[in-house]
Amino acid sequence: MSAAVTPSSPPGAAAPAPFVLPTEVGEADIDMLGHASNIAYLRWVQDAAVAHSAAVGLDMEGYSQLGAVFVVRRHEIDYLRPVVRGELLELRTWIDSASAAKCKRATEIVRVGSAELVVARAMTTWGFVELTSGRPTRIPDSVRVAFSQPTMRELSALRNLEASPSDPPPPVSA
Distance CA 157, CA 161 (A): 6
Q: Which strands make up the sheet holding 117-130, listed edge to edge?
A: 19-24, 88-98, 102-111, 117-130, 68-79
Residue 139 burial (CB count, 10 A): 24
Whole-model pTM: value is 0.80
What's the half-sphere exposure (Cβ side, CA atoms, 13 Å) at 136?
A: 10
pLDDT: which is higher, 156 or 56: 56
Four-way CATH pick for 19-163: 3.10.129.10, 3.40.50.1100, 3.90.1150.10, 3.40.225.10: 3.10.129.10
Average pLDDT, whole number, for the chain? Answer: 86
154 band by pLDDT with thresholds 50, 70 and 90? low
- 146 contacts: CB under 8 Å, gap ≥ 6: 56, 57, 58
36 band by pLDDT with thresholds 50, 70 and 90? very high
Distance CA 52, CA 69 (A): 14
With a cut of 60, say whether residue 9 has pLDDT above it: no
With a cut of 90, say whether residue 157 has pLDDT above it: no
Q: Which of 126, 119, 106 is nearest to 45 (CA)?
A: 106
What's the half-sphere exposure (Cβ side, CA atoms, 13 Å) at 134?
A: 2
% of the chain residues with pLDDT over 70: 77
pLDDT in tens, 99-119: 999 999 999 999 998 789 999
pLDDT in tens, 114-151: 789 999 999 999 999 999 999 999 999 999 989 887 66
pLDDT in tens, 43-62: 999 999 999 999 999 999 99
Kindly state the DSSP code that residue 101 receives in the 8-state scheme. Answer: S
With a cut of 50, say whether residue 11 has pLDDT above it: no
> How distant, in Å, are the alpha carbons of 41, 42, 129 from that of 139?
27, 24, 9
List the chain domain ranges: 19-163
